[in-house]
């Protein structure tokens, strides 16, 4: 079936009775239950750019291979005709088939409330069922194990939503999915040992991404116009949505940072919200750059250190070791300067927003 022969979810194409190997014949509108007319179909294809609205695959007219179907969102919509353009969308054959066999909240391994359903999609239930049945898994393995066809990036976005559900749904007080910061695997909260929630990455690029994501989240939550964020950060509209989802998922502790850099154990707020007096003084900013807490000898829940660990004084006694230590310090100074510049830029962005 070519793209121009796309049809709604009630259209069928049975083979002729004379030969099962012969070409399939499309049913006429009279023979098929409520098939949209060719003009409406062409309009829907054009409006949605010949692209599946679930998985994002393109049809032949845009260089893709997907067979596209026009689908009725509701069979009895309120306030409009069933064939109104607002009630029509575009799906590829695979996603269309999945749509009519999709999982429901009753199939989820965890309780899904009505409020959750305003945020979640049917593929989210499939993701939850997969990790419940197979345990923690990498994104690619989850994609391969889903009954519906989705890209890795699409599934990753849905994992962000599931991980940050408690930050997206006001009535929910607990996330249902988490990510293991050491293995990179996703699973139900009780399946994950080393949560990525609130984690401070050691990689500079990832650190800056987390900080920018959280600033976008806070700006949107304050009611900042999305177009202003797009202009300030020079990113696409879609990127701002992804940043918000990712920020809700990782819940980066931006408030623990200042223009001086990383928080120290003394500067981190305690469980009662208080802050240690070690925060004060001219050297506080430099201390936050130079050290990060190590809360556990077993490494679980450990906050990553910035740069390389310092060597004991005895190990720097030789000339070669002194040269190596000097190189390490130079690299750390350079990295620290880059971070300070980035923090200053992010602060300016925050003030602008």
Are the C-beta atoms of 187 and 178 separated by less than 8 Å? Answer: yes
Question: pLDDT confidence of 139, banded at 50, 70, 90?
Answer: very high
* 22 and 161 inside one domain: no
Q: Taking 60 as the threshold, does the pLDDT of residue 318 lie above it?
A: no
Residue 224 lies in a domain: yes
Tens-place pLDDT, residues 191-203: 999 999 999 998 9
Tens-place pLDDT, residues 66-99: 999 998 888 778 888 888 888 899 989 878 876 7
* 95 and 111 inside one domain: no
* 87 and 128 inside one domain: no
Give the Cα separation of 344 and 101 in Å (integer): 51
What pLDDT does residue 172 have?
A: 95
What pLDDT does residue 306 have?
A: 31
* pTM over the 0.85 mark: no
What pLDDT does residue 294 have?
A: 34
Are the C-beta atoms of 193 and 209 separated by less than 8 Å? Answer: no
Residue 320 lies in a domain: no
**What's the domain range around 153?**
105-191
Residues making up the chain, counted from first to last: 353
CATH label of the domain that carries residue 172:
1.10.10.10
Tens-place pLDDT, residues 161-211: 999 999 999 999 999 999 999 999 999 999 999 999 999 998 999 999 999
Higher pLDDT, 297 or 147: 147
Instruction: Give the number of C-alpha atoms closer than 13 A to the C-alpha of residue 100, restricted to the C-beta side.
Output: 14
What mean pLDDT comes out for the span 10-15? 35
Q: Which of 153, 178, 300 is nearest to 241 (CA)?
A: 153
* 87 and 22 inside one domain: yes
Q: Which of 260, 262, 213 is nearest to 239 (CA)?
A: 213
Higher pLDDT, 299 or 88: 88
Q: What is the largest CA-CA distance in the chain?
A: 92
Mean pLDDT of the residues in the chain: 73
* 147 and 89 inside one domain: no
What mean pLDDT comes out for the span 298-305? 33
Are the C-beta atoms of 177 and 162 separated by less than 8 Å? Answer: yes
* 127 and 240 inside one domain: no
What pLDDT does residue 73 have?
A: 82
What pLDDT does residue 195 have?
A: 97
What mean pLDDT comes out for the span 231-242? 92
Mode of pairing for the β-strands spanning 88-92 and 186-188? unpaired
């Amino acid at each position: 079936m070519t793209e121009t022969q796309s049809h709604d979810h009630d259209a069928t194409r049975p083979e002729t009775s004379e030969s099962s190997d012969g070409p399939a014949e499309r049913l006429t509108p009279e023979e098929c239950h409520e098939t949209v007319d060719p003009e409406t179909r062409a309009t829907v294809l054009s409006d949605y750019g010949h692209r599946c609205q679930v998985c994002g695959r393109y049809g032949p007219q845009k260089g893709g291979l997907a067979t596209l179907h026009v689908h009725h969102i509701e069979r009895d919509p309120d306030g409009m005709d069933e064939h109104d353009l607002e009630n029509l969308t575009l799906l590829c054959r695979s996603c269309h088939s999945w749509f009519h066999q999709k999982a429901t909240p009753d199939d989820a391994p965890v309780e899904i409330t009505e409020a959750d359903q305003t945020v979640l999609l049917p593929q989210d239930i499939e993701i939850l069922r997969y990790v419940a049945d197979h345990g923690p898994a990498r994104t690619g393995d989850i994609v391969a194990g889903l009954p519906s066809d989705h890209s890795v990036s699409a599934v990753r976005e849905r994992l962000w939503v599931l991980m940050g559900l408690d930050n997206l749904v006001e009535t929910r007080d607990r996330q249902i999915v988490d990510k293991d910061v050491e293995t990179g695997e996703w699973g139900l909260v009780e399946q994950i040992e080393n949560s990525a929630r609130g984690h401070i990455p050691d990689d500079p690029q990832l650190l800056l991404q987390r900080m920018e994501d959280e600033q976008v989240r806070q700006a949107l939550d304050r009611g900042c116009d999305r177009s202003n964020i797009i202009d300030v950060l020079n990113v696409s509209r879609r990127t701002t949505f992804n940043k918000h989802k990712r920020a809700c998922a990782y819940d980066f502790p931006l408030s623990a940072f200042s223009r001086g850099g990383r928080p120290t154990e003394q500067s981190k707020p305690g469980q009662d919200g208080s802050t240690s007096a070690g925060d004060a003084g001219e050297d506080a900013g430099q201390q936050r750059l130079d050290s990060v807490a190590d809360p556990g000898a077993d490494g679980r829940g450990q906050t990553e250190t910035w740069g390389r660990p310092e060597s004991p004084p005895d190990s720097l006694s030789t000339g070669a070791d002194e040269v190596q230590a000097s190189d390490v310090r130079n690299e750390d100074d350079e990295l620290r300067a880059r971070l300070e510049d980035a923090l200053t830029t992010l602060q300016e962005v925050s003030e602008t927003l």
